[in-house]
Structure 1
Amino acid sequence: MGQVLSEEKPAPLSHEELVKELANIFADKCFTSLELYSLKQVFKSLAHHEQRVGYLKEGTIAKYLKVPDILGISPVLFQMASYIAAFPFLEDAPAVLGLEQMVIVITLMTDRYRRVLGKGAADKTKLLFKSLAVYDRKFSKSAVDTHSGSSNAREQIENDGQGLDNDELVLAAFDALGHVNPDKLQNMPATHGPMIPGDNFRKFIMLLLLVAPLDPQDSLDSDPDRVTGAGLQSLRTAAESILAAFLDVERNPGVEYLRFSKVIAGCLPFLFQGLAPLFEHFLFSEELDFHKGKDGTSRSPTMPPEPKQPLLQDTGSIMNASILSQMSFFIPGSLLFRRLRLLYAGDEDGFSMGSFEAKVFNWKTPTILLVSGTRLLDESDHHSNGSAPAFWASLPPRRFSRGSSGEAERLTFGVYVPEPWKLTHRECFGGEETILFQLEPIHDLFRASSLNKDYVSFTRPSASTSHAGVSFGCPPPRPSQAYRRSGMIPLGPVSLMLDSSFEFGCFTHDYASKGGAFQTSMIREYNFQERFEIGSVEVWGCGGDEEAKHQAERWAWEAREAEARRRINLGTGDIEADRALLEMAGLVGSNRSGGSMA
């Protein structure tokens, strides 16, 4: 009998070979031929060569993407890209940024990987955290030392990295390769409390605020005002508020994974969406001229490109580009960028419910109310007038402390209202898409619940109404013997209340109650209350030119009707009689109060 030769098993592929194969899969499934050509041209123009091997050096990515130097983000971006470039063999990070590695980075950063990897691998939160984190025992020790009064602080931090194991995105990549048994791989090094340094994350948040409104071919240097003067200050303020949701910088030097994933899921679900158009810049080569004819000669385009509308059509004392970007982290940017119209501003239209109603009630699409003011610390703390004692007396006795630490006294709250505004009689309006949120000095979100439907209330002052004003999460005004006797305003468990003169406001978070019309905070699991003197109130309409046109037509119609009524009532030609009639109505002269609409 002849001897049967045994089949030799092929040698397993190396990590480098598998990474190259994954890059080929991504290139084939996730890019067009034109995009690949553009990427190769861009890489060729940027790459540094050593022994005939091309790669990107630190600073190249930030420079090409035109990231402002003032952010100081270049080392952080390079660390992130070098880590993701090792995917799926993350234990090999940092990786050299060659062409194949850049294909992997761009595929992951632009979410194109969804076309290849399984649906269960849709979330890249773990990957982004690991790409920004450090694994330094000394860094972790300083975090333990700052956890005052916690006997299990070290155990908490040492175990915090455990949630990073079994990354579904990595497992899906191995499944797509079909070469490796992922159970035998260890993609996470032995960690000692991986954390994102607070200063690095602050810079990264500022970058995310800048890129939030970007389209793929928009340039970061197209609006220099955002990184100079007042624009830079508002960018830093928004970044500090968001960072405060992740950590207390006075007690903890870095962001841990459990907190990172919790805050993003609960308060900032769209935080990283701006990274996709940013990294798509690598797919548009400036060397390509789409206006060349077949013979290679240049020709003029038939129509010049239309200039882009500004992010904000109007200006406000609260709203700015950074606030707009901050809201886009939990409200879809398609409803916000270049879509908002200023309907009402207390600074210009008067702090009265009458002005508010006249300006806001005819807008038929969603609106966003913003209110900012100065924190009142106790009953003796009233800054500008003597109305504060009456306001304090109208509220139930204070039981909760303030909601955030630090010296910041400015508070900013907001509400996304999905329905048109209307007067409240027996029931509130709003719906389950209503969102109550805080923007400053800490970012927080309170989504609508189904426990009750006391979402939005707008109640005019009247003889039959004991408590008027605008409220969110508070019971609508009803005849209540208890509150009539006490004279106190009924506050909801999670609620924002503005008094009828728009002088004072109160935000309440009764965590022990488990919420009411709005859910309790996912990041502040304690009771708190903020009482403040209002500085500004604004309402912005979400909609485009068509909605603004309808609103303008409605305002024009109301103006014509008011003029017609004026001519009918005051058409006598007797100026003294007309003036006396206006004074009796309290519209002119010393009798006019300028207060809320009765």
Structure 2
Amino acid sequence: MGQGNSTTVGPPLPEELALRLTNVFASKCFSPFELYCFKQTFKSLAEHQSDEVRYWPEAAFIKFLELPEVSGSGAALYRLCSYVGAFPFPSHAPAVLTGEALLRIVCLMTGRYMKVLHGDKEVWRRELWRACAVFEPEVSTAAAKNTDPAEEMNGGTATLSGDQDATVEASTAQSKKQEEDGGDEDELAFHTFELIDALEVYKQGEKVNVQHGSIPTESFLELLQLLLLIAPLGEAENISLYTTQLDERRLESLRAASKCILASFGVERNSGIGYKAFDTVVTNTLPHLFDSFGPLFEHFLFPKDFDVHKSKASTPEDVASSSTSEALNALTASHAGQAHIPAPEPLVPVQGDILDLNLLSQLSFIFSDKNIFHCLHPLYLGHSHGYSMGSFEKSVFHWHAPSILLVSGTLISPSTKQSHARAFLDELPHRRLSSSVNTASPLRSAEISPAPPAQDTQRIIYGAYIPVPWEATHKSTFGTDKTTLFQLSPVHDVFPASSVNQHYSYFNKPASLYSGLGFGSPLPAYSAMTASQQSNSTRRSSITNYSASDTAYGSGSFSESSFSGPSSPGLTRRSSLIGDEYVPLGPVSLHIDDALEFGVFTHISSTGASFQPSKLPVTARSGNGTDWQDRFEIDAIEVWGIGDANVAEEQRRAWLWEAKEAERRKTISLGMGDIEADRELLKMAGLIKDEGRSGGSM
């Protein structure tokens, strides 16, 4: 008696757990007003399946976010979101974008999940990599969905794909390193199952082995183009401001910037982007790459065409409290006002030779300060102000706020016959180091010219972030540990300041110990120089530049037979030499000569540098990828200030005061009451005769 058939309750279905997670996100991460707006937004574009399930197709997703279709970026983002919508069950991807899935996507992409889940940006980057990665070669995401999880968990029996055979050694070493770093421990998924009280499901469930996947190059390139486009996007800002008017020139520049970023992952020698390379590059050089996802997906919570009166009459059960109604009225009024607001000021106020909107977005991936988009002021543009240290000093030194220096140029061939370039090369140490640039890049195969670029015509862009005002450095360098060196083209890289040495920035006009400007090199001690070196340094600092007409051997008064280096009497050139020694370049340094004609970036992976060495994979650069020196002829230099209107006004006043002082010094003060002093001054100038001089014989 009392006995009955016992039933075993199985674990909850993935659909039940996903719904449970959605409810937690809805109650803990969103306000009632935001949820109401989200529901109205979803209903406005939702379509029906045969089983009455409402969902968003790809076209509706792209239409609402106003994503451009020309670059394929909208489709790339939709694929990413279809994976995120299946979280925390990756085998269920791609997910149909139902209301529940879309709410989870918004919560994760905006970072609101941090209110209930533990984990920082590093944990979320891991999930983003998985959302973009393919775990079986040449198999679609839909086919990957049907893969047996047990096979993916069998990491010991898995083999690499055929198209990765060429990099077996690198992949094996990378896999071992990943195992040392913790393998496939998924912190975000663990805390998610803990949150919904389903740890047993996590322990027995699927786990994706990151060692067996990679992001397809073309897919990630499309996503990079979108991220560059929406990088300036602010809170509740209209997306179409940045995604419309994409002419062919803008698209070409967009693709070029995207390829430079893509090259930093070492894709030229690999078929895709592995997790280790992805995490290392994004962490060290692109820490703010995905920041624009936040304001982009916030648009789901604040629809543009929201009608407060219609919402109150339609669904009474969804009407929020009085405070919500007030917020709703304020939001509606703000949207009504935005319709009459004129277009914002251009993000790049003046067209320069280097900086454009795409490079500005690329810079925003490095620095967290979003003032870079709205408080940018052109301080020095070489093509407008003239290429001289004096013009540079006059334009930049009165800016009392952070600034960014950009320099672009073309690599100098070691066999160049240009006399100016040869003289500069002979001043430099480490001349045996090769350039960091690959002479033939697969990423440039789609360009108009089918021929690989020659090394002496490869354009490169280096730069520096200077957090303090510029100053002349006669005895010591200036700058703080926030000073940063970076490269934007043809590879994206960042070199943060080091605490080992503090030779951050210098600016030396002739006649200094060695003249020029740069970052990362120490200033020589004048007391340590011999008397001969001191005399030689002073003599060379006073030598003027050779004429622009003497551009190559055999032209002008120079010939190849008469050339004997920078100290040759037949080729005098103002230089940065100290006596007969080379320019003292730091292990990681950027140096520009005092004529603003040539530059050199040196990278030696050794201790004692003022800037940290590159963290990029060795496959991202030519040669061994560790030591290199890029010697280039400058075609443009720009300095952009970052500051508000008050800083700009302070600089304008300083310039005005200097102009008045210059005029005052030009004027001779006569008629101030001292007649005898005025007469003596005019006599000295020869304007009146000295009547006291008779000029007679002795």
TM-score, length-normalised on structure 1? 0.87
Question: Quick one: which amino acid aligns to residue 522 of structure 1?
Answer: K
Partner of residue 518, structure 2: 471
Shift of 1:404: 2.2
Shift of 1:569: 8.4
2:66/2:243 contact within 8 Å kept: no
Question: Quick one: which amino acid aligns to residue 475 of structure 1?
Answer: P
Q: Does 2:497 correspond to 1:448? A: yes
Taking a change above 3 Å as real, the CA distance of residues 299 and 329 of structure 1, as seen in their structure-2 partners, is: closer
Distance, in Å, in 2 between the alignment partners of 1:98 and 1:36 is: 15
Q: Where do 1:546-565 residues align within 5 Å?
A: 546-565=646-665
Partner of residue 374, structure 1: 410
Partner of residue 522, structure 1: 615
Q: Where do 1:31-430 residues align within 5 Å?
A: 31-50=30-49, 51-119=51-119, 123-137=123-137, 141-147=161-167, 152-153=169-170, 155-156=172-173, 165-181=184-200, 183-189=202-208, 193-223=212-242, 227-249=246-268, 251-289=269-307, 305=341, 307-380=343-416, 382=418, 386-405=419-438, 406=440, 407=453, 409-430=458-479
Q: Which runs of 5+ in 1 are unaligned?
A: 572-580, 582-598
Taking a change above 3 Å as real, the CA distance of residues 330 and 323 of structure 1, as seen in their structure-2 partners, is: same
- Secondary structure at 1:400's aligned position in 2? coil
Shift of 1:186: 3.6
Q: Does 2:605 correspond to 1:508? A: no
Structure having the higher Rg? 2
Aligned length: 561
Taking a change above 3 Å as real, the CA distance of residues 228 and 514 of structure 1, as seen in their structure-2 partners, is: farther
Taking a change above 3 Å as real, the CA distance of residues 294 and 138 of structure 1, as seen in their structure-2 partners, is: closer
Shift of 1:176: 1.1
Taking a change above 3 Å as real, the CA distance of residues 154 and 533 of structure 1, as seen in their structure-2 partners, is: closer
- Secondary structure at 2:379's aligned position in 1? strand
Shift of 1:224: 5.5
Taking a change above 3 Å as real, the CA distance of residues 323 and 302 of structure 1, as seen in their structure-2 partners, is: closer
Distance, in Å, in 2 between the alignment partners of 1:213 and 1:491 is: 36
Distance, in Å, in 2 between the alignment partners of 1:313 and 1:248 is: 35
Moved more, 221-230 or 39-48: 221-230
Distance, in Å, in 2 between the alignment partners of 1:180 and 1:389 is: 68
Taking a change above 3 Å as real, the CA distance of residues 190 and 536 of structure 1, as seen in their structure-2 partners, is: closer
Taking a change above 3 Å as real, the CA distance of residues 154 and 331 of structure 1, as seen in their structure-2 partners, is: closer
**Among 592, 603, 616, the residue aligned to 1:498:** 592
1:419/1:430 contact within 8 Å kept: yes
Moved more, 453-462 or 240-249: 240-249
Taking a change above 3 Å as real, the CA distance of residues 68 and 95 of structure 1, as seen in their structure-2 partners, is: same
Moved more, 87-96 or 440-449: 87-96
Question: Quick one: which amino acid aligns to residue 187 of structure 2?
Answer: E
Taking a change above 3 Å as real, the CA distance of residues 142 and 69 of structure 1, as seen in their structure-2 partners, is: farther
1:342/1:540 contact within 8 Å kept: yes
Taking a change above 3 Å as real, the CA distance of residues 466 and 266 of structure 1, as seen in their structure-2 partners, is: same
1:429/1:456 contact within 8 Å kept: yes
Shift of 1:187: 3.4
Shift of 1:323: 0.7
Q: Which runs of 5+ in 2 are unaligned?
A: 140-159, 315-328, 441-452, 534-576, 619-624, 672-684, 686-698
Question: Quick one: which amino acid aligns to residue 172 of structure 2?
Answer: E
Distance, in Å, in 1 between the alignment partners of 2:226 and 2:183 is: 25
Taking a change above 3 Å as real, the CA distance of residues 270 and 302 of structure 1, as seen in their structure-2 partners, is: closer
- Secondary structure at 1:551's aligned position in 2? helix
2:119/2:188 contact within 8 Å kept: no
Question: Quick one: which amino acid aligns to residue 238 of structure 2?
Answer: S
TM-score, length-normalised on structure 2? 0.75
Moved more, 101-110 or 61-70: 61-70
Shift of 1:38: 1.5
- Secondary structure at 2:461's aligned position in 1? strand
Shift of 1:239: 0.6
Distance, in Å, in 1 between the alignment partners of 2:522 and 2:13 is: 65
Deviation digits for residues 441-493 of structure 1 (CA, Å, limit 9, x no counterpart): 0000100001111000101111xx34200010011143345874434211100
1:494/1:520 contact within 8 Å kept: yes
Shift of 1:123: 2.8
Distance, in Å, in 1 between the alignment partners of 2:90 and 2:333 is: 48
Taking a change above 3 Å as real, the CA distance of residues 556 and 160 of structure 1, as seen in their structure-2 partners, is: same
- Secondary structure at 1:541's aligned position in 2? strand
Shift of 1:73: 2.4
Partner of residue 449, structure 2: none
Shift of 1:222: 1.7
Deviation digits for residues 550-574 of structure 1 (CA, Å, limit 9, x no counterpart): 1112112222222222334899xxx
Taking a change above 3 Å as real, the CA distance of residues 143 and 295 of structure 1, as seen in their structure-2 partners, is: closer
Shift of 1:156: 4.8
Deviation digits for residues 95-141 of structure 1 (CA, Å, limit 9, x no counterpart): 22110110111100011111111246863011100100112245863
Partner of residue 576, structure 1: none
Moved more, 471-480 or 5-14: 5-14
Question: Quick one: which amino acid aligns to residue 544 of structure 1?
Answer: D
